[in-house]
Amino acid sequence: MSIRHACVGLSGLAIALVPVSPSAAHEIVGNRFFPATLGIDDPGINDELALPTVDSFKTGDDPSFKQRDVSGEFSKRITEAFAVSFAPTYSHLSAPGGLTGMGASGFQNIETTFKYRVFRDPVHEFVLSVGLSVEWGGTGAKSVGADPFNTYTPTVYFGKGLGDLPDTLSWVRPVALTGQLGYSIPGKNSTSTFGVDPDTGNPTIDTQFNPRVLNWGLTVQYSMPYLKSSVVDLGLPDFINHLIPLVEAVMQTPVANTLTSGTTTTGTINPGVIWVGNTFQVGIEALIPINRQSGTNVGAIAQLHFFLDDIDPHGIGKPIFGNAVQPASPFPRN
């Protein structure tokens, strides 16, 4: 699972049931292991704990604030194909230019995501999930930008490995794509702030329209574990064979109710790498803003992520309804 930045909404919608393949730890489809990514949410349905996730970047405000976040996410499967996750985030905003009295610290709104896997095709290494993310208004601090109203984001997630390519393209087989497409709907169309005109003393009203936002993103990954186990063993050091280099694109585009927000797309391009073990993974990425509105410098994000379904498959890693998972290594065999 991925981090929820204060400025980035992520999510999904739980719907109908369809048959899926037998239960296994992680999101493994055929020989393809889809890691938990840091920028966008992966398509997996798992028992996981991301703790901690830390990031640092400069906001797109003018002047820019330096924002540091520390967050966690706990995902629990209700059934083999349906999970619920909870994600708190603590933010610290440093005032620009060392100004006093302008910084702030506090929790962002709690976010809950309900996610359901609707389709999995092991032969073509394809998985599709849907979900609904709810940001609970009023659970965070207004001083760090937490909204007083709920925001609902139905989302579609997918993952596709290229392991079904012909032998002539065997070096491309370790490549995988994951992505998400969500539509954030604020619980209130507008927010009004009441004040007093300092010159006339008359009351004033400042109304900000809360836009509906298209949250979209894509990752391109190259799995060294897949290269060794399913394509060719190059005799590389074991550390290298555990790496998954990747690039993520994390974007937001206001598409409705945009009178005061505008329609400019904001987001980051995040190159980085994930090291994968049998029971945990570690990831680190740069955060490169795509324009001035997205930020003013290159930031960074890092995460430690635990696979609870492998650590304790008969306890906390077991679905509430259903059988214990079958431990499955992220490192496939021919």
In the chain, where do the E strands start and end? 27-29, 32-34, 48-58, 66-79, 82-87, 89-94, 104-107, 111-121, 126-135, 151-161, 175-186, 190-196, 203-209, 212-222, 243-256, 266-276, 280-289, 299-307
User: What per-residue confidence (pLDDT) applies to 21?
Assistant: 38
CA torsion, points 148, 39, 179, 81, in degrees to nearest 10? Answer: -70
pLDDT at 331: 62
- Residue 103's pLDDT is 80
In a domain, 32, yes or no: yes
| 18 lies in some domain | no
DSSP 3-state assignment of 196?
strand
Contact assessment for residue 25 and residue 44, using Cβ atoms and an 8 Å cutoff:
no
Whether residue 321 is contained in a domain is answered as no
Q: Tell me the pTM.
A: 0.88
Give the three-class secondary structure for 312. Answer: coil
pLDDT in tens, 22-55: 444 468 999 999 999 999 999 999 999 999 999 9
pLDDT digits (tens, 9 = 90+) for 179-191: 999 999 999 999 8
Domain-located, residue 46: yes
3-state DSSP assignment of residue 98: helix
Residue 110 lies in a domain: yes
Q: Would you state the pLDDT for residue 95?
A: 81
Does residue 1 form part of some domain?
Answer: no
Low-confidence ranges of the chain (pLDDT < 50): 1-25, 333-334
How many structural domains comprise the chain?
1
- The whole-angstrom separation of Cα 12 and Cα 237 is 38
Q: Is residue 15 part of a domain?
A: no
Structural domain containing residue 256: 27-311
The whole-number pLDDT of residue 2 equals 47
Tell me whether residue 71 is in a domain: yes
Q: What angle do CA 287, 86, 113 make, to 5 degrees?
A: 85
How many beta carbons lie within 10 A of that of residue 310, not counting itself? 23
Q: Which CATH number belongs to the domain containing residue 289 in this structure?
A: 2.40.160.40
